[in-house]
Amino acid sequence: MSEDSNLREKICVLAKSLFDRGLTGGSTGNISARTSDGGLLVSPTGTSFGRLDPGRLSHLDASYFLIAGDAPTKEMPLHQAFYDTRSRTGAVVHLHSCHSVALSMLPDTDPDNFLPPLTPYAIMRLGKVQLLPYFMPGDPAMGEAVRGLAGRRTAVMLANHGPVVAGTDVEAACNAIEELEDTARLAILTRGLLPRMLTQDQIETIVNHSPPDGTSSTR
């Protein structure tokens, strides 16, 4: 099996796993990954993560022009913004996961640091997550908002919409966005219970000892 075929299969297997566990439903969510020739494989517009066809994935060249497959997701400006501003980005995933969306709606959520420091894993895999304001789905302004971060964040949360995470490869990006949703769920479950957060010293130790895997960013 060729490298391109392997990547196509991996994208579809990971997307179906996210769908089967309820992390994005219906025809929501989108995913992309770098190909060996510098182009992208992208989930087509209007498709379900549970039923992606490896042979119909959108194949874009290095300039983001469609060269094969179905038309790509309308959220391409989001994906392009991460690829253009973070040179190590090898994949981008966007979900409509329930707990992270719920947390984005709460009034006292910190826009500069969306996830509270509850576990070391979110810090290692995500760093600080930026909460962006609400945009109409498909609005190119979402991509411009990511570009405005100048590559400083590997993950953003679109208010009332869903998370977007970049990683060095498609598996790393999927693992990181699952960590984002798990941490948001913990934040909702412990809300109002005064949970013990990680201290600043503990956070700094985690950051200083985390390997540079391309999914974390500085706090």
Task: Dump pLDDT digits (tens) for 86-137.
Answer: 999 999 999 999 999 999 999 999 999 999 999 999 999 999 999 999 999 9
Higher pLDDT, 70 or 212: 70
- Whether 83 sits among the annotated catalytic residues: the reply is no
**Mean pLDDT of the region 194-198:** 94
- Domain for residue 215, yes or no? no
> Where do the H-state alpha helices sit in 64-169?
76-85, 98-104, 120-126, 141-147
Q: CATH no. for residue 145?
A: 3.40.225.10
pLDDT category at 57 given cuts 50, 70, 90 is: very high
Share above pLDDT 70 across residues of the chain, in percent, rounded to a whole number: 95
| Active-site pick, 3, 9, 121, 204 | 121
Residue 215 has pLDDT above 60, yes or no: no
Confidence label for 213 from pLDDT (cuts 50, 70 and 90)? very low
d(CA 160, CA 34) in angstroms, rounded, equals: 28
**Rounded-to-integer distance, Cα 19 and Cα 115, Å:** 23
Neighbours of 178 (CB within 10 A): 20
Q: Tell me the mean pLDDT in the region 57-67.
A: 97
pLDDT score, position 61:
97
Catalytic residue list contains 9: no
Residue-wise pLDDT tens digits, 160-187? 999 999 999 999 999 999 999 999 999 9
Residue 111 falls inside a structural domain: yes
Both tokens of 144, joined, read: 């411009």
Residue 163 included in any domain? yes
Give the pLDDT of residue 218.
43
Range of the domain at 122: 3-209
Residue 157 lies in a domain: yes
Catalytic residue among 75, 178, 179, 181: 75
**Residue 150 backbone zone (phi > 0: left; psi -120 to 50: alpha; other: beta):** left
What domain count does the chain have?
Answer: 1
- pLDDT (average), residues 16-43: 97
Q: What is the pLDDT of residue 3?
A: 73
